[in-house]
Amino acid sequence: MPAQQFTIAEALAQGRALCAQSGTDSAALDAQLLLMHVLDCDRTYLYTWPDRALTETQGAQYQHLIEQRGQGVPVAHLIGMREFWSLPLRVNNSTLIPRPDTEVLVEQALQHIHGEHADVLELGTGTGAIALALASERPQWSITAVDRAQDAVRLAEDNCKRLGFANVQIMTSDWFSAIEASARFHLIISNPPYIAHDDHHLNEGDVRFEPHSALVAEQGGYADLAYIIETAWAFLRPGGWLMLEHGVSQSVKVREFFRELGYAHIYTAQDYANLDRVTCGQRPSNVPKP
């Protein structure tokens, strides 16, 4: 069908069929998001005007997008945007696409850090999603967000500036390497790489289009988790919390890492599918590291 003959309803039907070729279970939603992007409209508009015809230019643009989605390219990369914690974040292929389950990290932080003022460090910030979500809820907190990838730092800075958060500092650092040795935080939070290099999930879905450096860790996926748990102790205030996202099968070993290094009140929170996703531990007050 020529592009200029598409109505919104016809475009959505074709988009749903083509997007499904990627193996996604959200083909209908993907088609809607891509058409909303092309028409610069909301979802209500699509339902209100199903018989409205696309222009030839709009039809061609939409056809190009759904063909790419059918080949597996993530919707977030195609439209350059992903919502996280109700914040519209710019995304690209330099870092991870924010996932809804990572919002569990934000929820746990807000649950346990109660002071009006708090010093927070996010490691491996990527798009800036976690730091900016916390900043949106706690504008009085002082938040430092770091990433070792320069492209990710620039992306996070762009999101921070565009959304207008003045309480977030974004900087380049390989984990703690650029953090002053005297710095102490009420909260250290991270969604680090935790996938083993031979994990079959690396060949599925959106992760095929994301940088493996942000996904894969040595030692079967545990290297970065173990390093952060060990190193964070020296940067936490007594009573401060460390919170880490990890794979659904890693919670037992991650809790062991926390226990071996002397953390207290260790627990694992579940994601929205009730799978183990975030493990938290607190540095006890006035207790030296074992």
Residue 30: partners with Cβ closer than 8 Å, 6 or more residues away: 15, 16, 19, 24, 69, 75
Report whether 50 contacts 99 (CB < 8 A).
no
- Is 287 contained in some domain? no
Q: For residue 31, what are the domain limits?
A: 3-79
Q: What is the pLDDT of residue 289?
A: 52
Residue 274's SS3 state is coil
Q: What is the pLDDT of residue 193?
A: 87
| DSSP one-letter code for 4 | G
Q: What is the pLDDT of residue 174?
A: 94
Q: What is the pLDDT of residue 2?
A: 43
Asked if 107 and 246 sit in the same domain, the reply is yes
Asked if 214 and 150 sit in the same domain, the reply is yes
- Is 288 contained in some domain? no
Q: What is the pLDDT of residue 218?
A: 81
Tell me the CATH number at 233. Answer: 3.40.50.150
Report whether 152 contacts 125 (CB < 8 A).
yes
Tell me the CATH number at 20. Answer: 1.10.8.10
Asked if 56 and 114 sit in the same domain, the reply is no
Domain count, the chain: 2
Asked if 46 and 102 sit in the same domain, the reply is no
In the chain, the N- to C-terminal Cα span, in Å, equals 70
Q: What is the pLDDT of residue 3?
A: 44
Query: Which amino acid is present at 198?
Result: D
Mean pLDDT by 10 residues, the chain (290 residues): 69 90 85 93 91 91 91 89 94 89 96 90 96 96 96 95 95 96 96 81 68 78 94 96 95 96 96 94 75
